Structure 1
Amino acid sequence: MARGVYIHIPFCHQICNYCDFNKVFFKNQPVDEYIESLGREIKMAVESNPTAYSNIKTVFLGGGTPTALSAEQLDRLLTLIVSYISLDDIEEYCTEANPDELTEDKLVVLKRHGINRLSLGVQSFDQELLKKLGRTHENEHVFQTIEKAKEIGFTNISIDLMYGLPGQTIEQWQNTLDQAFSLDLPHFSAYSLIVEPKTIFYNLMNKGKLPLPGEDLEATMYEMLMAQMEAHGLHQYEISNFAKPEHESAHNLIYWDNEEYAGFGAGASGYLDGVRYTNHGPLKKYMDAIDQGELPINHQSKVSLKERVEEEMFLGLRKTNGVNIKHFEDKFKKSMRDIFEGQINKLLNEGLIVETKDTLKLTQQGKFVGNEVFQEFLLD
C-alpha cells in the first residue's frame, strides 16, 4: 500500500549542467497533452488497484521543474490529481520550484489547491557559481519569492543548497550559508555535487575542464554545514537534510523508511505491492502507452527478500535516528545481527556506526563516508 505519491513534470526552461533527471526543454513540447496523459495514468492506476491508494499521506511534485508550467497548467494538473487521489488525510503536499518561475499567480494556484510545502532549488547564493551550474535565477528572486510565499500563507518552505562545486571556495560556501540562514526557514537540504553520466559537467570532467574541490575541502564544507545548522536550531535528521522540529520532509522519510510509494509521469519510479517499477522516459513512448489504455511501465521487478533487507539498512542509515532494531526484526523475522554480524562488528571497530539497545546508526565520522558504510550491507 502506497503511503506517498510522486508525480514527475519533465519540463524545464533551462537544463542545469549537473542534472541527470528525466527532462526536456519546455519549448515546443506537448505540455497540455502531457498533463492530460498524467491524469489518465493516475485514473487507470487508482481504478485498477484502489486499495493501494487508500491511505495516501504525501504527494510530491518533482521534475524537471513543476513551476515551468503556467498558472493555468498547474491549475489543470492539480485539479486532475484531486479528481483521482483523495487528499482528505494528506499530511504533506509539496512541489519543487525554481525561484525565478514561482510567480504570484502560481503561488495563489498552489495555495488554493492545498499545496502546503514548497521546495526551492536555490543551490548557491554566489552568482558566478549559479552561472556555472546553468541556473537562471538571481539572489533577489529567492528573497522576493520567499517573501511573497509567506505573504500568501506558506510557512513550510525549504531550499536546496549545493557544495563541492567547481571552483567553490570556503568563503563562497560560508556566504551561501549566511544568506540561507537570513531567510529564517524551517528546512534546508544540502548536497555535495555528484557528477553524473550524461550531464554537461560529466563531459567537462572527462575533458579535464571541471576544477572540483578535493575531498578534504568538501569534507570541511560538510563539517561547516552540520555545525552551523545545529547552531541555528536545525537538527540533522538525514545525511543531507536539516529541519526545525516537526518540519522534516514527510515524503522523503517514506523513501528512507523503505516504505511503498507510487510514481506517475514520464520516467517516474514507484514501489508498490513489493514491486519496483519505472515508467517510460521519452514523452512519446509514455503518452502512446496511455493512449493505448496501458499503464506506461517500462521496467518492473519483484523486490527480493535480500534486496528488501539491504535497502532497509542503507536507506535507514541515512537517517540520523538510524535503523530501529526491533522494527527490523518484526519486519524480517530475523535479528539484524543474524544477517549482518560481521559487517556490524567491522563498522563498530572502525568507529563508523554506533549500536544502542534500540538502534544502529552512523557516528559523526560515519556521516562523512556514508556511501562506504552503506556498501558494507550489500549481501553477496
Structure 2
Amino acid sequence: MKKKLALYIHIPFCVKKCLYCDFLSATANEQEKESYVQALFYEMDHWKDYLQQEYQIQSIFIGGGTPTALPVSLLERICQKLRTDFLLEQAENLEFTIEANPGTVTKEYVEMFQRVGINRVSLGLQSAQSKELKALGRIHTYQDLLDSVALLQEYGISNINIDLMEDIPYQTLESYKDTLEKVCTLPITHISSYSLIIEPGTPFYEMEQKGELLIANEDEDRKMYELTKEILKEHGYERYEISNYAKKGMECRHNITYWDLGEYLGLGLGAASYLGGFRFENERDFATYQEIQKERKLRSEERITASKVPCDVTKEYLWGYQEIHRESCQDEMEEFMFLGLRMCCGVSRKAFYKRFGIELQEIYHDALNRLFRQKLLAEDKNHDRIYLTDLGIDISNTVLAEFLL
C-alpha cells in the first residue's frame, strides 16, 4: 500500500509586499514568473517517478506569497502538471487548497479552480477595518473579501478559510470584535487567527525600533485572544489547534499532517520537506534555485534513460537541497510531542507506543507529572489522549519546551 503524502507548492510572488511580512516573497515581472514556473516544473520532474511509485497525495496546498499573483494561465499549467505527474485522479477525497488575497479572486480564476479541482480557498483578510488594512500595507478592502466569498459560493466552492490578525497597529478591542462578528456572518468553514509578530528585516521592525509602531499591549492582546475563542465558539467554530477554528468536520487536513508528524514534500523556492525520515529545505535565492532545478532536470532524465528509480530518499533525490537532517528517534519523539500538543485533541499514548515501541510515560515521566500537577496538561477519560489545558495554551511555548530531551 502506498504511503500518504501532503504536497506544498510555494509561489513567491505578491502584488505588493506587506509591511509586516517576512515570508519568502516579492514582486516580479512576467518573465520572472514564467522562468520560475519552468524551474518549478523541473523540480516536479525530479520527484515524479519516486512519488508515483511510493506515495499517494492526500492534500495539496498552494501558498506564498500570493498564488493569484500569477496569471490564470500559468497557475492552471501548474495545477494540470500536478494532476498528471502525481496521479491526483487516483486520490480519494483530495483536499486541494490555494491561498488568495481578496481582490485577486476574479471569475477567470474561480473558473480555473473548478477545472483543475481546487476545492478549498484560503483568503488573507487580516481585518475588516480600512484603517487597519492600510496600516498593514494590504491592498484590498473588506468589500473585496465579500465579493470574493460570494463569487466562490456562486461557483460551488464552499470550503473557505479566512485569516485574521490580532495586535494590528491602531486595532482596538472594539474594532477586533467588529471584525470577528462580521466574518462570522459569512458562509465560511474555517478561521485562522494569529497575533502579529514583528520580524527583523521588515518595515514594521524598523518602525518599532524607532518607537513609531502603535500596537496592543499585553493586557489588550490577552483580551483579544479570549474574545476570539468566545465569539467563534458562539458561531459554531470549534477550536482544534492553538490558532485555528473550524465548523465540524472542516478542519484543514493538510495542516494536520504537519502537526501529526506526517510526511510532506515542499516544492518551490525555500519550501521545507519531511520525507523518508529526512528534513530538508529548498534554496532561497531565486537565481540559484533556477540553476539547481535545471541540473535536477538533467539528472531525472538520466535516471529515466537508465531505468533507475530509487525506492527511498537517497542522496540523489536530496541533491541541491539545504539544511538536510536525518531525523533521529529522539528528534521524532520531541516533534511528536510539541507539534501534536498544538492541537486541542493533543497526543495519544497509543499512537506514541505504535510509532516508537516504548510507552510515553517511560520517556516523559517527570515532565508529565510536573505538568499535570501544575494543571498545564490534562487527559481524556480513557487516559489515552494528553492535551494542553487553557492555562497550558496560554504559556504553550514554556510547556512544549518541557518535551525537549
TM bracket (short chain)? over 0.9
What is the CA–CA distance in structure 1 between the aligned matches of 2:338 and 2:51, rounded to whole Å?
29
Tell me, yes or no, if structure 1 residue 350 matches structure 2 residue 350. Answer: no
Q: Which residue number in structure 1 is paired with residue 136 of structure 2?
A: 133
- In structure 2, what is the equivalent of residue 62 of structure 1? 63
Q: Which is worse superposed, 316-325 or 353-362?
A: 353-362
Would you say 1:51 and 2:57 are equivalent positions? no
What is the CA–CA distance in structure 1 between the aligned matches of 2:320 and 2:84, rounded to whole Å?
20
What is the RMSD computed on CA atoms of the aligned residues?
1.4
Larger Rg: 2
Q: Which deviations, in whole Å up to 9, do the C-alpha atoms of 1:108-159 show, x marking residues without a partner?
A: 1011100000000000001111111111000110001110110011010110
Corresponding residue for residue 234 of structure 2: 231
- Does residue 105 (structure 1) correspond to residue 129 (structure 2)? The answer is no
Task: Summarize the alignment of residues 214-293 of structure 1 with structure 2, pairs less than 5 Å apart.
Answer: 214-293=217-296
Aligned to 1:161: 164
SS in structure 2 at match of 1:307: helix
C-alpha deviations, 1:147-197, integer Å up to 9, x for none? 011001101011000112223210110011011112131111111112222
Aligned to 2:79, the other structure's residue is in SS state helix
Segments of 5+ residues of structure 2 without an aligned counterpart are 300-318
Q: TM-score, normalised by structure 1?
A: 0.96
Paired position in structure 1 for 2:402:
376
Secondary structure of 2:404's aligned partner: coil
State whether structure 2 residue 339 is matched by structure 1 residue 315.
yes
Query: What does the per-residue CA deviation read over 1:273-297, in whole Å, with 9 as the maximum and x for residues that have no partner?
Result: 0000100011111110111236541
Aligned residues: 378
Q: TM-score, normalised by structure 2?
A: 0.90
- Tell me the distance in 1 between the aligned counterparts of 2:394 and 2:218: 10
Deviations 1:20-42 (A, max 9, x none): 11112123651112112111211
* 1:151 aligned partner: 154
Q: Does 1:33 align with 2:35?
A: yes
Give the 3-state SS of the residue equivalent to 1:184 in structure 2. Answer: coil
1:118: which partner in 2? 121
* Counterpart residue type for residue 172 of structure 1: S
Q: 2:357 aligns with which of 328, 333, 350?
A: 333
- Write the distance in 2 (CA, Å) between the matches of 1:335 and 1:166: 47
Name the stretch that deviates more: 288-297 or 14-23: 288-297
The one of 198, 205, 211 equivalent to 1:202 is 205
The residue type equivalent to 1:139 in the other structure is Y
Secondary structure of residue in 1 paired with 2:56:
coil
1:45-72 CA distances to partner (integer Å, 9 max, x unpaired)? Answer: 12245434x2210010010110101111
The answer on whether the counterparts of 1:12 and 1:25 sit within 8 Å (CA) in structure 2 is yes
Q: CA deviation at 1:311?
A: 0.6
Task: Name 2:21's counterpart in structure 1.
Answer: 19
Asked if 1 retains the 8 angstrom alpha-carbon contact of 2:199 and 2:205, the reply is yes
Q: Deviations over 1:246-268 (max 9, x none)?
A: 11001000001011100100110
SS of residue in 2 equivalent to 1:175: helix
Equivalent residue of 1:55, what SS? Answer: strand
How many angstroms apart in 2 are the aligned matches of 1:167 and 1:139? 17
CA contact under 8 A between 2:181 and 2:231: conserved in structure 1?
A: no
Counterpart for residue 365 of structure 1: 391
1:308 aligned partner, one-letter code: E
SS of structure 1 residue aligned to 2:325 = strand
